[in-house]
Amino acid sequence: MQQSVIKYFLDLNCIPNSNVMNRRKFLKGSALLSGILTLNPWDLFAGQHNVQTKKREAKNIIFMISDGMSSGTLAMADLYSRNILGHGGNWMNLYRENKISRALMDTASASSIVTDSAAASSSFGGGFRVKNGVLNIGSNGEHYLPVWQKFMKAGKKTGCVTTVTITHATPAGFCINSESRNAEPEIAEMYANIGFDVMMGGGDEFFNPLKRQDKKDVYDLYKKKGYEVLKTKSDLKNVKKDTKILGVFNTGALPYSIDRQNTPALQTIPTLAEMTSSAISQMKDHKEGFVLQVEGGKVDWAAHANDVAALLHDQIAFEEALKVVMDFAEKDGNTLVIVTTDHGNANPGTIYGPEATEKFNSIAEYKYTNEFILNSIHADFNIQQVKDWIYETNTIRLTDDEARYMLNFYSGLEKQEAGLYNYKKLPFKAYSEIQKKHNSVGWISMDHSGDYVELAMFGPGSELLQPFVKNTDLHYLMLKAASVE
List, by residue number, the catalytic residues.
Answer: 117
Look at residue 64 and give its three-state secondary structure. Answer: strand
In 3D, which of 352, 338, 299, 326 has the Cα closest to residue 71?
A: 299
Contact (CB, 8 A) for 186 and 165: no
Residue 3's contacts (CB-CB under 8 Å, 6 or more residues apart) are: none
Distance CA 430, CA 434 (A): 7
| Distance between first and last Cα of the chain | 46
Cite the annotated binding site for Zn(2+) by residue number: 67, 300, 304, 342-343, 448
Distance CA 427, CA 370 (A): 9
> Helix and strand tally (H, E) in the chain?
23, 14
The H-assigned helical ranges of 238-343 are 257-261, 272-283, 298-304, 308-332
User: H or E stretch including 244?
Assistant: strand 244-248
Distance CA 106, CA 101 (A): 17
The H-assigned helical ranges of 53-177 are 71-80, 90-96, 117-126, 147-153, 169-173
Compute the chain's Rg from CA coordinates: 24
Q: Which neighbouring-strand residues pair with 245? A: 198, 228
In 3D, which of 405, 387, 408 has the Cα closest to residue 396?
A: 387
Residue 179's contacts (CB-CB under 8 Å, 6 or more residues apart) are: 134, 135, 137
Cite the annotated binding site by residue number: 67, 168, 170, 295, 300, 304, 342-343, 448
| Half-sphere CA count of 150, side-chain side, radius 13 A | 19
Distance CA 24, CA 84 (A): 37
